[in-house]
Amino acid sequence: MRILFKQILIQDSRSSFFGKKADLLAEDGRWLEIASSIQAVADEVISGSDFQWFPSLVDLRVHHTLPGGEHKEDWTSLQAAAWKGGVLDMLLLPTGDPVPQQPEAIQYIATKLEGTGVTCYPSAPLTLDNKAENFSDLMGLHESGSSWFSHGDGALQDTDLMLKCLQYLQPLAVKVISRPDVSGLSLFGQIHEGVQSTLLGMKGIPVLAETMHVKRDLDLLRYVMQHSFGLANPGFALHFSCISTAESVTLISEAQKQGLPVTADVAIYSLIFTEDAVSDFDTLKKVNPPLRSENDRLALWKGLKDGVITAVVSDHHPVEVENKELEFDQASFGTIGLETLALAFIKEAKNQGITKIDNFLTHAPSAFLGISQPELKVGELLKGIVITGEEKVYDSESIVSKSKNSIFLGHSFSHQIKGVFNGLNHSYGQ
């Protein structure tokens, strides 16, 4: 089958056509010809005055509900949500029930969506059942294919356990993922500790809950690297996920300048919304980390521009409607986001003057996973998304995830995903 893309704006920063319009011809899932103009017969012609070609997305933070959470998201709906959002590679947190913590479970998850166009990369738990009592089989899990370890969707509170995990894993090419939060400080907190928590009379989650944990983990990492006797693997790193405060950006930036192997990502909602979004007690805006101040939001954007933060994630977290349609202090944290990650980031990144949008959604996340993405070259795999400039308000009817708890419901997007392509798997006009 031949597909011809006519005069499409290339937004793949690795391409020589980046920022220019070109014709693209693909045959049987691979690029056949790329030129300023192509005159060829094709089975399908895709054209539009405002069509853009982006590489597909790589999402480094997806809450895994399987097994045990099929009522919130099953394999079919997870694949559909990822595909619709153009997320063709995603890192799954070890958050199923029971926790996938055997080598066989890791291998099963890695191949579960094989052939669908979407690939899963399962992260493994640092401790059995994410209980912070006994270590999981770290070496066995790594040998089974996982190079990413986390404490469920959070971070180890036990300092000694965290230190030993870093010491044990530093000779390996693995990433230890920490979602920084001192649980004793955030306990019973509902929103960011600030103006809105005072006005609404709700217990706040202080910035200190995040930054104290960042400081602790950086101190542990520094200690481990100083006592590694030269055995630390060049591919080893500590990764902070979903940082949300200006001080966290500063702390991580200073650590990077000192040469520590530390990276960070930010959730898309922390780049868009602030604490003011919860002034009407909208439980869809109840996320963790909480929506912070405008100063924090701007600092996170600066962290992206400066290279301190290298990836933007969806933090896709399905929650059934019964746990969202409650009083605010009783409602669950979390938002889905696979379907809206590209649309939300592209709009705001352009407003921020960021041109190489794909660096944060594709290339840096791919490097984190240790995978390569096909280039826009003849003979390479056809893999990417077509986006059109169409203003549209996001509504629940367009959601394909089983759970509808999107923080972006009612939000207006300036772009829409028109087509998703991965080799012979493709959809257009969705």
Q: What is the pLDDT of residues 14-53, one digit of tens each?
A: 999 999 999 999 999 999 999 999 999 999 999 998 999 9
> Which architecture characterizes domain 57-369 according to CATH?
Alpha-Beta Barrel (3.20)
Q: What is the pLDDT of residues 3-13, one digit of tens each?
A: 999 999 999 99
Both tokens of residue 85? 């959002």
Query: What integer pLDDT is reported at residue 429 of this predicted model?
Result: 74
Q: Is 68 helix (H, G, I), strand (E, B) or coil?
A: coil
CATH code 3.20.20.140 region(s) in the chain:
57-369
Cross-strand bridge partners of residue 313: 267
Mean pLDDT for all residues in the chain: 96
Query: What separation in angstroms does the CA of 145 have from each of 105, 148, 167, 201?
Result: 11, 9, 20, 47
Q: Is the pLDDT of residue 150 over 90?
A: yes
Residue entry with tokens 């230890």: 176
CATH code 2.30.40.10 region(s) in the chain:
2-53+378-428
- Other CB atoms within a 10 A radius of the CB of residue 332 amount to 15
pTM above 0.75?
Answer: yes
Query: What integer pLDDT is reported at residue 430 of this predicted model?
Result: 58
Query: What are phi and psi for residue 33, nearest 5 degrees?
Result: -155, 140
DSSP annotation string for 160-192: HHHHHHHHHHTTSS-EEEE----HHHHTT--EE
Question: Alpha-carbon distance 256 to 406, whole Å?
Answer: 34
Q: What is the pLDDT of residues 62-96, one digit of tens each?
A: 999 988 999 999 999 999 999 999 999 999 999 99
- Strands 57-62 and 30-35, by their bridges, are unpaired
Q: What is the pLDDT of residues 222-234, one digit of tens each?
A: 999 999 988 999 9
Both tokens of residue 249? 């950006």
Tell me the average pLDDT across 246-261: 98
Q: What is the pLDDT of residues 179-222, one digit of tens each?
A: 999 999 999 999 999 999 999 999 999 999 999 999 999 999 99
Q: What is the pLDDT of residues 333-356, one digit of tens each?
A: 999 999 999 999 998 999 999 999
Question: Alpha-carbon distance 313 to 177, whole Å?
Answer: 13
Task: Please give the CATH superfamily to which domain 2-53+378-428 belongs.
Answer: Urease, subunit C, domain 1 (2.30.40.10)
DSSP secondary-structure letter at 27? E
Q: What is the pLDDT of residues 302-314, one digit of tens each?
A: 999 999 999 999 9
Query: What integer pLDDT is reported at residue 262 of this predicted model?
Result: 98
Q: Is the pLDDT of residue 121 over 90?
A: yes
Of the pLDDT bands very low, low, confident and very high (cuts 50, 70, 90), residue 422 is very high
